[in-house]
Structure 1
């Protein structure tokens, strides 16, 4: 047994170099994003092992995640760190009055990731190897260069730079009130990069059903890898209709916050590419349940954000997946992920293969320590 003796929780705010705008901003539903609230959990055991986990929220929810995590953390003290599935349930029941999805499970996610990181480190294996890797590298695509606040000229520069860096695909944000601007941007990038470069688009839930039908039909000509979130994240019937009607695959799932919600999406056949977000669904334990359902349904996988975690989870998925390249989180960690020939190399260091940087400590606004007495 490896008993948990100490937990350190950190509420850390990562500033973004410039305000980020997608279609939700241009349609007036949200304000530009200026920072990401990170929840870090560091777990220690009586035999000297340590694990690091994290979750996050964007625009709102950071203080709530930290508060919930601080409330439920004592439930882990004295427990065997190896009993990860049981401990996930214990944390869930510790905060059951606020539900089993959303903010509550996102707080649990940081603990769950930390326990899996610890388990892999104890085994001397990377997380991917512990889970049973199918591959040593994963196809990757870049999103951070394609936001709607980026002018077309700069969009072309960013896309070319990503390709030269060795990134395998480019994703562009669409969903503007004027759809002709979306078409112009996609057409310009496709022409600039050529037909062979994998290209995706993401509407961030901003189209209604008639608009989505029309835009998906227009985008068929651009040979896209997928069209992401053309409709509201919970409109499974609408997504299913698009997936059936068009050759271009439909991708969705990033906004769902539990395994149960993903199960409903899968039953509706609402996606060709499933895009679960590990921290959002509650960590690695529920992510693996989702991946199992997705594999059985014959779906492709493209986890959302947090490449430092999802590179490992994608490497353990049977069908060839994609991982989203976002450099935003890099200042938080001392290590970097290597990219080569369009693919992201799976780290071979034990666990997640990352450690918190001094910069992350500097950006920390609040901490809590829970330990055995």
Structure 2
């Protein structure tokens, strides 16, 4: 049988404007400005046999142009290759840009192409990606983050939480890390009282506490029966997270800001998290996510991938232990399809691959584009 080959790649840099400026603890502590947009890198890969795959990566606040530029440099190395050889092609792309490193913007650029190759492979098999990977379930628990940011007044946070629950979302996560611990505790108490004791409730400090503050706040938050405390410390303080995890009853979650399997391995090795939160676009795509998922399964960790639910619902469905997926409605304008949410879970569709196609609105928000074709390199 003659192997298929990649004949064309389209790269698109798309800027998604947010409906309102978003603020978490990093803004309130002066480390970042409010977020008003998200930059996406889309990769569309075509083959000689007529198959197509769509993948994406993203960057918040800065980095979108860097991802696009790196992808444009290394993507020609895919032309003429067999799209089935995804592991080998991931390695080839990483080594093509090795001077830029094997984490951060360089591998995030590779991630978009890696995801597209997996989407293509699943479409060719006429299977949803989760089924191709080996699904353990047809739906995944979901929790909402969209309505719990610190720029929202408390009454609005309560309204958002109630609306999310009414829409069929299972859990609610709110942001903490306010300069005043009393404000944090008052907001958590109000949300817990509004939701009741049975609804899963998570909090996210976005790395804004030091070790002492995290210990004190962790103890103060114990009474609320939280599902987890997320990023209580700097993302790279694995030893601090490990000490906190040992001292608190509330599970500790982290990982979203890490950009390689190696960085996550340090969290796992030290027992620093109960809930691991990798982001496939940030760590290099689905190929790397699968490596990390194996490590997490070995330690019996709960998996709760960060953001990009359109990708992560498939990866979570293929994880042996019951996972969570984070619900964000920000990406809705980018795709023609919607995920089905009911009874506290996101349900897999029967559409092949990721099950999404780029919308005309996404194409209208394109700020840069590169079309690469076999035989031309451009």
What TM-score range do you get, normalising by the shorter chain? Answer: over 0.9
Which residue of structure 2 aligns with residue 127 of structure 1?
129
Which residue of structure 2 aligns with residue 212 of structure 1?
214
Alignment partner for residue 235 of structure 2, among 218, 233, 236? 233
Which residue of structure 2 aligns with residue 149 of structure 1?
151
Which residue of structure 2 aligns with residue 94 of structure 1?
96
CA distance in 1, matches of 2:37, 2:252: 29
Which residue of structure 2 aligns with residue 187 of structure 1?
189
Gaps of 5+ in 2: none
Which residue of structure 2 aligns with residue 314 of structure 1?
316
CA distance in 2, matches of 1:262, 1:214: 25
- Pairing of 1:1-373 with structure 2 (within 5 A): 1-373=3-375
More displaced 10-residue stretch of structure 1: 342-351 or 42-51: 342-351
CA distance in 1, matches of 2:133, 2:249: 33
Alpha-carbon displacement from aligned partner over 1:219-250 (angstroms, at most 9, x marks no partner)? 00000000000000000000011111111000
**Offset at residue 263 of structure 1 (A):** 1.1
Gaps of 5+ in 1: none
Task: For residue 41 of structure 1, give the secondary structure of its aligned residue in structure 2.
Answer: strand
**Offset at residue 148 of structure 1 (A):** 0.2
**Offset at residue 298 of structure 1 (A):** 1.2
**Offset at residue 2 of structure 1 (A):** 1.4
Task: For residue 68 of structure 1, give the secondary structure of its aligned residue in structure 2.
Answer: helix
CA distance in 2, matches of 1:2, 1:17: 42
**Offset at residue 348 of structure 1 (A):** 1.6
CA distance in 1, matches of 2:325, 2:302: 12
CA distance in 2, matches of 1:178, 1:239: 22
CA distance in 2, matches of 1:127, 1:135: 13
**Offset at residue 346 of structure 1 (A):** 1.2
More displaced 10-residue stretch of structure 1: 344-353 or 52-61: 344-353
CA distance in 2, matches of 1:368, 1:6: 11
Moved beyond 2 Å, runs of 4+: none
Alpha-carbon displacement from aligned partner over 1:84-142 (angstroms, at most 9, x marks no partner)? 00000000000000100011010000000000000000000000000000001000000
Task: For residue 327 of structure 1, give the secondary structure of its aligned residue in structure 2.
Answer: coil
More displaced 10-residue stretch of structure 1: 332-341 or 262-271: 262-271
Task: For residue 330 of structure 2, give the secondary structure of its aligned residue in structure 1.
Answer: helix
Alpha-carbon displacement from aligned partner over 1:275-319 (angstroms, at most 9, x marks no partner)? 000000000000000000000011110000000000000000000
So what's the TM-score if we normalise by structure 1?
Answer: 1.00
CA distance in 1, matches of 2:201, 2:253: 13
In the alignment of these two chains, the number of paired residues is 373
So what's the TM-score if we normalise by structure 2?
Answer: 0.98
Alpha-carbon displacement from aligned partner over 1:8-61 (angstroms, at most 9, x marks no partner)? 000000000000000000000000000000000000000000000000000000
Task: For residue 232 of structure 1, give the secondary structure of its aligned residue in structure 2.
Answer: coil
CA distance in 1, matches of 2:4, 2:297: 33
